[in-house]
Amino acid sequence: MTVPAFELSDLTVRYGPVTAVDGVSAGSAPGLVTALLGPNGAGKSSLLRVLSTIAPPSSGTARVFGHDTRAEPLAARTRIGLVFQERALDTDLSAEQNLRFHARLFGVGRARAREDILVLLERFGLAGRGRDRVETLSGGLARRLEIARALLHRPGLLILDEPTNGLDPEARQTVWDDLIRLRSELGVTVLYSTHYMDEAELADQIIILSEGRVAGFGSPGRLKSELRSSRIVLVTHDDDTALARLAEAGFDAVIDSDGVAVRCREPESRMAEVIRAAGPLVRAASVHHPSMNDVFLAHTAANRDREAADGTVSCP
């Protein structure tokens, strides 16, 4: 049986009376990209601090390739490449010097470090900037250097805490191109936190956190399909008559701001059937699927309703 790249079991993190992470259980098989999606204060950074061995859990367990982060922190840490939200490069040193220092810290031999540094600088578009001081690099290049540094000791799990925070749109896109390529070329498991919906859509699976709890978990496609809010939208000459005909045919239809909306699963396969039921009144028809923003709002709202019902106090 394949050992999970990371595994959280009933993980809880408390700071005094405040619960930042509340009984989270989730995990990933090796080679997948997982997004940890949630608003500020949802517990994303607290969860990543425990998983990356920086802080102990209050209760529950976190494992990296089978190593308990509390009982075996060194064994777990060697399997992790970590990119913090805050910049952690020495700006007075060159790009190469930052990488060499990291190699020594993780016990990477000189010959292998020299070879891997050249490869990583090339891979991340820094081949001509190795001797440049970090303070001369743009925000996007500095972030790419941090990812290269995190990979230098060849970890199996790359953890990134909001890796594109503060970057312009072009730099954000470049960073994500790098990360998706890493998964396909190196087989690295990636776990990243974000509050950007478009970044979450790039993942194989998404963990939605709300008030420290898992509010949703699954692939982007599965999370959207579970909403059951896909619809066929008809633009007609007479919305009221079209609505009546659709209702008579047994369809769940309403009139909204876009036209006559028919809610159904797999709407592409039912388009012709819906148009026939509405009759010659139809001028145009289109399919609308829920967005990741719809998924996020639905799951976080449901979690807040549960918290209000049971009186739980979590991280504000």
In terms of domains, do 210 and 251 share one?
no
Q: Is residue 66 part of a domain?
A: yes
* Number of domains observed in the structure of the chain: 2
In terms of domains, do 254 and 129 share one?
no
Q: Is residue 1 part of a domain?
A: no
In terms of domains, do 193 and 253 share one?
no
- Three-state DSSP string of the chain: CCCCCEEEEEEEEEECCEEEEEEEEEEECCCCEEEEECCCCCCHHHHHHHHCCCCCCCEEEEEECCEECCCCHHHHHCCEEEECCCCCCCCCCEHHHHHHHHHHHCCCCHHHHHHHHHHHHHHCCCCCCCCCEHHHCCHHHHHHHHHHHHHCCCCCEEEEECCCCCCCHHHHHHHHHHHHHHHHHHCCEEEEEECCHHHHCCCCEEEEEECCEEEEEECHHHHHHHHCCCEEEEEECCHHHHHHHHHHCCCEEEEECCEEEEECCCHHHHHHHHHHHHHHHEEEEEEECCCHHHHHHHHHHHHHHHHHHHCCCCCC
Q: Is residue 51 part of a domain?
A: yes
> For the domain that residue 166 is a member of, what is the CATH number?
3.40.50.300
Q: Is residue 309 part of a domain?
A: no
What is the C-alpha separation between 312 and 21, in angstroms, rounded?
Answer: 12
Say what the pLDDT of residue 214 is: 95
Q: Is residue 97 part of a domain?
A: yes
In terms of domains, do 220 and 112 share one?
yes
Residue type, 213: R
Say what the pLDDT of residue 135 is: 95
In terms of domains, do 114 and 250 share one?
no
Q: Is residue 311 part of a domain?
A: no
Task: List the domain range (segments joined by +) for residue 235.
Answer: 230-288
Burial class (CB in 10 A: 0-12, 13-18, 19+), 106: middle
In terms of domains, do 177 and 280 share one?
no
In terms of domains, do 282 and 205 share one?
no
Which residues, given as ranges, of the chain have pLDDT below 50? 311-316
Q: Is residue 295 part of a domain?
A: no
> For the domain that residue 255 is a member of, what is the CATH number?
3.30.70
In terms of domains, do 190 and 115 share one?
yes
